Structure 1
């Protein structure tokens, strides 16, 4: 672990460029370097502009994470406002469409609509996804087994609607549907034995409710405010599900502005599952959003808790850096939580490059948990 962090720290000076060279020994050389970097940033901006129209941005999708390996494809992104005029404060809505194929032979097709309406008095989110997804399973609980291979074709859909009750307070219903066809498993593995819920596929259909307190100053790149969400989902045969269980998710985030456009971000996230849930829908840690540095779902069980902290600061023009750390654990009961050997740690550094005036960013993260990991994608994690 120490060698990994020293490697990352050794590269940081190459990304930090002086913004002024006046009265500094060797300033001519520094000015040449600055001009070179200016040209590189200018080239990046021109590439984004060339792939954009007045309403759509087209981005060759290049992603990477331990779960997918390198992914290649395309993304079309539309950012718009439902209300026009100088006096409106309606947040920007977004419509990203993605087609991706990874070196792990995963096909991912997604579309998502985030719609802010009536000067932020109502919000709608809808997402649809289809994937042919070879993946890994490491067992349930804190005593993980050797990762075994399985492949699933799944379809997913959700629809959330929220209505403002007061300043930054939203309440509304939600619906989720997912169907999995697991068509390949590791011979002799845990999933092939058929004793784990969901090992023969699943069909989930459920209704729920969410309460949000959203007082962020920017939805893509918050610099101050809070985002707290308490959601509850119930999956039941009455709604067409072949698994009956419920799940609570509590997600609390706080953004503290500090000097010179720096931001400190904290998150506490808890997931509680009641009933017989399939392994695909248990509480978990790992992946690009929850404890970077652990494979997604490396640890999973009925309950999970994760704490994450990020420090974001500007470097040069549209380039920013991020330092982050996280701790988390899973358990079959709440009694298993605490300061014990099951508590996991992760941390790392990242780089951000702003793509547009609304605050959309490219994201590159280097993390270490139980493995060294590299992530490349869009938007902030928290």
Structure 2
């Protein structure tokens, strides 16, 4: 992981800055491994400003292939109120080898002694992707390519009802324009809702139970979330459906600097939802090792476990395993239909709050690598 950070320094920093850092390391008489860690820390300090950290954005997943770009990150801290959780504002632009252009920004803002929480996210993308069909046994094993240009936005505002419990409204909007699809392919012959594009707009409620001791690297506590959304023509949506999502997480400190993270995630969809927005599994957040959207249907469930431990200084590792499935009806969930995956990962801590770079190696129905920021669970 240190070698990866060193390579970033060589590529993105000027030769003058590199020479300065190299001279510093040469003077300090330490073991080689400690010199490497010192150099990695120096690189992080150089790209981090007092208010904004600007870092090269390097991502990899089966859905995007290699993605290159830039990420600016602002972490807001109230020095006069150390109990107030840090607020974050990342801004990212990526271009991937799959010819995808992706712009995202997401505000997480805590205020008034953690009594108020606001989350807003904006995504703009030109996104070549794959459609496999609907169900736990996809129509296409390899997937059919199509390209969608989409804009997505959500905002939710929550207020603390009592300690650790938050409730508030949520608005969600997404529009897709399918610019390319295979003539007489699966999308055109199967014609799922949304095959020619979509526009959804909906209102709902979010209820959170949050007792984590740290929002980036929790070692104990719960993070449970129940969100219900109603999409309707009354709000400007072309499709009418509702969706209920449950995300239940528990963090257990087993030993010093060792944490067991558990997650149970469920999604239930009722009504006429487009294929882009029905429940799905796979990708970098739910069931690594499975292509995102390879399995999609009205309902989905994922169970994940991750064991995290510190290796040395800012370097850590994780071991993870997961299982999940999709189904057209609640009663169709079955142990015989479960998909399984597992893997290992490396972490390097960027900030004192615990923000990490992560590299995961996963095996599911494929071998896959994932590179990005932050923890999955």
Q: TM-score, normalised by structure 2?
A: 0.91
Paired with 1:114 and 1:295, the residues of 2 have a C-alpha distance of: 28
- Give the match for residue 377 of structure 1: 372
Secondary structure at the aligned position of 1:162 is classed as strand
Unmatched runs of 5 consecutive residues or more in structure 2: 2-29
Secondary structure at the aligned position of 1:281 is classed as coil
**CA shift for structure 1 position 42:** 1.6
**CA shift for structure 1 position 143:** 2.0
- Give the match for residue 127 of structure 2: 133
Residue 325 (structure 2) pairs with residue 329 (structure 1): yes
Equivalent position to 2:345, from 333, 350, 357? 350
Paired with 1:202 and 1:39, the residues of 2 have a C-alpha distance of: 53
Residue 156 (structure 2) pairs with residue 160 (structure 1): yes
- Give the match for residue 118 of structure 1: 112
Paired with 2:319 and 2:159, the residues of 1 have a C-alpha distance of: 35
**CA shift for structure 1 position 187:** 2.1
How does 1:247-262 map onto structure 2 within 5 Å?
A: 247-262=243-258
Paired with 1:292 and 1:100, the residues of 2 have a C-alpha distance of: 21
Residue 120 (structure 2) pairs with residue 96 (structure 1): no
- Give the match for residue 299 of structure 2: 303
- Give the match for residue 288 of structure 1: 284
Paired with 1:216 and 1:202, the residues of 2 have a C-alpha distance of: 37
Paired with 1:52 and 1:175, the residues of 2 have a C-alpha distance of: 33
**CA shift for structure 1 position 260:** 2.5
Secondary structure at the aligned position of 2:234 is classed as helix
- Give the match for residue 366 of structure 1: 361
- Give the match for residue 67 of structure 1: 63
Paired with 2:294 and 2:236, the residues of 1 have a C-alpha distance of: 29
Paired with 1:315 and 1:348, the residues of 2 have a C-alpha distance of: 17
Q: Is the 8 A contact 1:249 1:270 kept in 2?
A: yes
- Give the match for residue 202 of structure 1: 198
- Give the match for residue 6 of structure 2: none
Unmatched runs of 5 consecutive residues or more in structure 1: 1-10, 12-33
> CA RMSD of the aligned region, Å?
1.5
**CA shift for structure 1 position 186:** 1.6
Paired with 2:333 and 2:185, the residues of 1 have a C-alpha distance of: 29
- Give the match for residue 10 of structure 2: none
**CA shift for structure 1 position 142:** 1.5
Paired with 1:88 and 1:222, the residues of 2 have a C-alpha distance of: 17
- Give the match for residue 31 of structure 1: none
**CA shift for structure 1 position 225:** 0.3
Q: Is the 8 A contact 1:88 1:119 kept in 2?
A: no
Deviations 1:109-158 (A, max 9, x none): 11111000001000001111100000001000012122000001001111
**CA shift for structure 1 position 194:** 6.4
Q: How many residues get paired?
A: 349
Paired with 1:302 and 1:313, the residues of 2 have a C-alpha distance of: 36
Q: Is the 8 A contact 1:362 1:377 kept in 2?
A: yes
How does 1:213-252 map onto structure 2 within 5 Å?
A: 213-252=209-248
Secondary structure at the aligned position of 2:335 is classed as coil
Greater displacement, 260-269 / 69-78: 260-269
Paired with 1:120 and 1:376, the residues of 2 have a C-alpha distance of: 31
Residue 44 (structure 2) pairs with residue 53 (structure 1): no
